[in-house]
Every structure is written in C-alpha cells, then in structure tokens.
Amino acid sequence: MSRTMRGVLFMAFVLAVHSWTLVAASPSLKRGFYKKTCPQAERIVRNVVGPAVAANPGIGAGLIRLHFHDCFVRGCDASVLLEGGDSEQMNIANLNSLRGFEAINDAKALLESECPQTVSCADVLAFAARDASEFTGGPTYKVPAGRRDGRISRREEANVLPSPLASAQELRDDFTSKGLSLEDMVVLSGAHSLGIAHCPTFSRRLYNFNATHPQDPSMAPDLAEYLKRRCPPPGQDRTAVPLDVATPNLLDVQYYRNLKKGKGVLISDQTLWTSSLTAKMVDSFADKPNRWAKKYADAMVRMGAMDVLTGNQGEIRIRCAVVNSY
C-alpha cells in the first residue's frame, strides 16, 4: 500500500489580529473560496459547531480527529464520512470511536438549504475542525477552501493511520510519508490535549509492558493508579479516560506539560518526551504556548491541503454519508 503523496505547493504566514490567522498560498485551495457562491458558508458551520461543543466538549475533540483521520487516508476528501460495510469507518482505528458526525451533517443540511450542492463535505469538515479548535480554547486560523468530495472509502486504506503504540521514529515516518515534518507531528499531537482513549489503547502499559517491567516505568505512578482503577485487568473493556487528565476540555499546551511529568496516556504520546528526536520540541512547546498556537494553526492548514481533489475532480456530495446518485 502506497504511503506517499502527490506534491502540494503551499506556504503560510501568520498575522496577529486578536487571534492567530493563516494565509496559505496554494494553486488548488484559497481563502474566501465561497465568497460569491455561498458567502455565509463558514458562518453556518460555525453556528452549528459552537452550540454542539458547548453542549458536549467531546464533540470538539471529535471534529478535529475526524479531519485528521480524513486527511491521512486518501487526502482531505471527506472519505471518512462515507458509510458502508467496507468504509474507513469500519477500520479498527475508527470503529466506534469517531465523533462529530451529527455536527457535520447538521451543517451540511443547512448549507444545502442555503446554497444547494455548492459547499463540499471536505470543506465543511475543515471549517468545523478550525471552529472546534477555537471553541475549546485553542487557536483559530483562516481555512483555504475549494476541496471536492471523493467517492471512495475503503476500510483497509485506514491502516495507514498512526498507531497508539507507535514510537517517535514510527510517527515521524508516518507523517513524513504524508509530506508533513517531524515538527508538524509533534505540533499536531498537541490536539491530544482534548479527547479520550479507551482501555485497550493503553492497557499494555499497565499490565503487560515487557518481560522486565509489567508496568511502563515511564508512566507517573499516580497516573498509573488512576488508569488501573478505570481499567482493571486485563483492561480490555471500552471504558474511556481523558487523554489529558488536567485540562481535558481545553486545547492547550498542558498536553506537553503532562508528557514532561510522565502523564501521557498513550505510548505514542509519552514517546515524544522519552525520545531524543522530539523531547526538545516538547520542552519548548510546554513553556511557549503562543509559539505552539502559531505552529498548530500553520500545521493544520498544511495538513488540510494534503492530496485534495479540486476543480472538476470528485463531486460535491448532497449528503456527506453517501455518494451522489446520478
């Protein structure tokens, strides 16, 4: 299975206007794409995401994760939103763990009423991830748009998603195969300041780490005790715990501060502190929240430009869960 991507030319610079805003120069995506065809598009999405996150902060984490899981597989084409027995949603990395579909579907329904078959599901997802960042206390940024929706979603193709058991080196390779840098990987991992993890994704660290240490010695003892109470042996039920036990509903740099204390829940989180490849970046972001915010916004725009369909490619789905019928 190929893990490479077509080259995408883009660059970004940051403007400070009460919040971090990004401008991406791309031959395929542009800011204000719907200015003439659907001028209220971004406002409509925002007006759905805001109340959804206020009612359930977990939706914020879910929308950011949906965008990431979409872009990492086949590019940012909303393929993760397609339903079906062999779709990406059925892959073990996504099964019963994706959230935020209702907000996407509600926003899309309003857009279809306002501007029929004009705004792609892929763009709705990109806008929603940006808005989720803002409504959970993180940076906001300008989203270049013009994506089109794909018509293919295959379960096996989601195998490229990074594993919660991955090392820093494996994560680096996963991200560089998609055209993202090592720093992008560490920056985007900061989204784990939000969200939850289920027991099977980390129980190995508690009960069966290796032949020498039944429990992962890099995990803080108080965190291990908390997780064991939530996930008793063998730790294979579907109980969920916050990825950031300190500020679970805020997108902030507490994630990096937790790693420095041995309080990363997943192996793929804690490895960023224990690996010499990434430890200095973790240390820097933990102490410089504004620096992380700028880089997060920049990296989200870069990720959102991966392997996009534009022009006459793909389609504009009427409903995000199914391809159009012609």
CATH number at residue 230: 1.10.420.10
Q: What is the pLDDT of residue 236?
A: 87
Domain membership of residue 313 (yes or no) is no
Give the distance, in angstroms, between the CA of residue 199 and the centroid of all CA atoms in the same chain: 20
Nearest to 126 by CA among 21, 42, 28, 57: 42
Residue 155 inside a domain? The answer is: yes
Q: Is residue 222 part of a domain?
A: yes
Note whether 180 and 144 are same-domain residues.
no
State the pLDDT at residue 22: 34
Q: Which of 67, 69, 192, 198 is catalytic?
A: 69
Counting every residue written for the chain, the total comes to 326
Residues 204 and 144 placed together within one structural domain of the fold: no
Distance in angstroms (rounded) separating the CA atoms of residues 119 and 107: 10
Answer for the pair 166, 174: CB distance below 8 angstroms, yes or no: yes
User: DSSP string spanning 234-245?
Assistant: T--S--EEES-S
Whether residue 130 sits in one domain with residue 34: yes
Its pTM surpasses 0.85: yes
- Structural domain including 80 reads 12-161
User: Are residue 25 and residue 123 in the same domain, yes or no?
Assistant: yes
Q: Is 75 left (phi over 0), alpha (psi -120 to 50) or beta?
A: left
Whether 75 contacts 41, CB under 8 Å: no
Q: Is the CB of residue 267 less than 8 Å from the CB of residue 197?
A: no
Please tell me whether residues 199 and 253 are part of one structural domain: yes
Q: Does residue 308 belong to any structural domain of this protein?
A: no
Is residue 296 a contact partner of residue 187, using CB atoms and an 8 Å limit?
Answer: yes
- Closest CA relative to residue 17, chosen from 175, 193, 142: 142
Q: Considering only CA atoms, give the Rg of the chain.
A: 19
Is 210 found in the same domain as 144?
no
CATH of the domain at 98: 1.10.520.10
Whether 306 is in a domain gets the answer: no
- Tell me: do 52 and 179 sit in the same domain: no
pLDDT of residue 80: 98
Helix (H) or strand (E) holding 196: strand 196-198
Among 138, 161, 184, where does a domain finish? Answer: 161
Q: How many CB atoms lie within 10 A of CB 17?
A: 6
pLDDT of 11: 26
Q: Give residue 13's pLDDT.
A: 26
Task: Look at the chain and report how many structural domains it folds into.
Answer: 2
- Which residue, of 161, 181, 216, is where some domain finishes? 161
Residue 322, domain member (yes or no): no
Inside any domain, residue 1: no
Written as tens digits, the pLDDT of the chain (326 aa) is 333 333 322 222 222 323 333 333 345 899 999 999 999 999 999 999 999 999 999 999 999 999 999 999 999 999 999 999 999 999 999 999 999 999 999 999 999 999 999 999 999 999 999 999 999 999 999 999 999 999 999 999 999 999 999 999 999 999 999 999 999 999 999 999 999 999 999 999 999 899 899 999 999 999 999 999 999 998 888 899 999 999 999 999 999 999 999 999 999 999 999 999 999 999 999 999 999 999 999 999 999 999 999 999 999 999 999 999 97
135 vs 281: CA distance, rounded Å: 25
Q: Confirm whether 321 is domain-assigned.
A: no
Provide the 8-state DSSP code for 16. Answer: E
Angle at 132 between CA 128 and CA 135, to 5 degrees: 135
Type of residue at 242? P
Known catalytic residue at 69 = yes
- For residues 39 and 85, membership in a common domain is answered with yes
One domain for residues 22 and 153: yes
